[in-house]
Amino acid sequence: MDDSKLEIKHIDPSLYNEDLCPIKHKDRTWGWFEIFNVWSNDIQSLFGYTLAASLFLSYGLNGWAVMAAIILAGCIVMVLVNLTGKPSVKYGIPFPVMIRSSMGVRGANFPALLRAIIGIFWYGVQTYFASTAVTLMLTALWGPGSGETYLGMSGTAWLAFVIVWVFQIALFWQGIDKIKIFLNLAGPLVYVVMLVLMAIVWFEAGDELLPAVGTIFSGGASYEGGDIAAFTAIVGTMVAYFAAVVINFGDFTRFVRSEREMKIGNLVGLPLNVAFFSFIALIITAGTLVLFGDALTNPADIVERVDSLPLTIIAALTFFAATVGINLVANFIPPAYDLANLFPRVISFRIGGLLTAIVAFFVGALWVSVISQIGIPGFVNALGSVVAPFYGIIVVDYYLIKRQELNMEQLFSADPKGAYYYNKGWNGRALLAFAMAAVFSISTVLVPALSNLNGYGWLLGAGLGGLFYYVLMSRTKH
């Protein structure tokens, strides 16, 4: 695409700042490896490992079926992000600007605010999980401390949490290029440490490892609704895990040089990467069953039991790096853009990031005592289902309504006659489509009678959002 088409001549200051404007192709530096590492760090975070390992234990399903479900989920997410990533590769715009096309130049603030809230929640939670790795390292170096806790965390844990929180702000402040370097180092490094940990566990477990793997793979426990319900629940839960990134994938692909590189990064980073990482998690979990009598799903607990100071320090730093990496990219950058979109004249990308960090501090601080009580799968599904309809709206609007052509100037215009101004800057039909679909998708999480669908709340919400939007928009000229 000719970069001249990305020039913005007539803009409204209330809709524009330098962080929101299109990035020209000549200024983009991301390739397939950067996209691969977005997904690598996502699944390699402590939260992601715990979720992946627990899937083999929580559903009573044959291990091969669990692996198939995980791979299928990776393929589904790959298709979804290829669709949402393409417009931002073409035009170089972030998610909150992209969604102005469907929601209206003012109405886009609504999904941006919801996405910001979800990103801030994830940012706080992942900050806590990253801090557990630092806590493990500090405890190994100077002992467990007095044992006194506040809000479920010891003094050492609180110190680790503050260290991680400050470190992330400092890294973010260096800009996207430094974040890219950090991410590219963290992704491969985690695989090295995970393979070493797997080798140690395998060596220690010896001949008993493979029978333990067979025990986990055999399943045997019953899941309400049967094996098919368990399979679909795993697929839906894994899709929902990636949901927040799926919605705003354009925040990352605007830095990518070409659509081809984006697709290669998604292929290697999703179905292939997720399957390989889940296999490693399975082997290590089986090894812990042999060595410790318990199937441990938290890498920090595993390293602690191994009782090797060098391994503890290396593993702690590695998982800290991986969790911080995805936190900055998936949970820090999107809210920063979303908050900047609310008041572009007063909130820059950096200020939006600081606001994100401040609010997320309290979310992370309350994770142990309050938020974790919700349960990981329910927490993932509930958050993902809220914004799910926006995915369908974005895709239907770009591919079916706008026919893959957007007017960059109109995306930054508050002219009442503008293409994306609709009614006072809001597209009422899009808002109605969201409301109808969101009621259903969140109900699959909160209403007991619909519990069998809870893993698919995100996909159902996205599909209904797109369907309702298409029907409503087809009744008017666009």
Q: CA–CA separation, 98 vs 87, rounded Å? A: 8
Return the SS3 of 231. helix
Phi, psi (rounded to 5 degrees) for 223 = -115, 135
Q: CA–CA separation, 153 vs 355, rounded Å? A: 24
pLDDT at 60: 75
Angle between helices 46-58 and 209-218 (to 10 degrees): 70
pLDDT at 5: 46
Of 246, 238, 242, nearest to 391 (Cα)?
A: 246
Q: CA–CA separation, 194 vs 43, rounded Å? A: 12
Per-residue pLDDT of the chain (478 residues; tens, 9 = 90+): 455 444 555 677 888 888 899 999 889 999 999 999 888 878 877 677 888 888 887 777 778 888 899 999 999 999 999 999 999 999 999 999 999 999 999 999 999 988 888 888 888 988 998 898 888 888 888 877 667 788 888 889 999 999 999 999 998 888 888 888 888 888 888 888 888 888 888 888 888 888 888 777 776 556 666 778 788 888 888 887 887 789 889 999 999 999 999 999 999 999 999 989 888 888 888 888 888 887 787 776 777 676 677 877 887 887 788 788 878 877 888 898 999 998 898 898 889 989 999 999 998 888 887 777 766 556 655 666 788 899 999 999 999 999 999 999 999 998 898 999 999 999 999 999 999 998 888 887 777 777 666 567 788 889 999 999 999 998 765 4
Instruction: Provide the token pair at 179.
Output: 């974040």
pLDDT at 197: 80
Instruction: Provide the token pair at 150.
Output: 């506040």
pLDDT at 421: 94
Phi, psi (rounded to 5 degrees) for 128 = -60, -45
pLDDT at 452: 66
Q: CA–CA separation, 35 vs 88, rounded Å? A: 14
Using alpha carbons, list the distances in angstroms from residue 59 to 226, 237, 385.
10, 12, 21
Give the domains, in start order, of the chain with CATH numbers: 23-473 (1.10.4160.10)
DSSP single-letter state for residue 49: H
Whose tokens are 């309809």? That residue is: 389
pLDDT at 233: 81
Torsion, Cα 161 163 164 167, to 10 degrees, reads: 160
Instruction: Provide the token pair at 413.
Output: 């215009």
pTM (predicted TM-score): 0.86
pLDDT at 355: 93
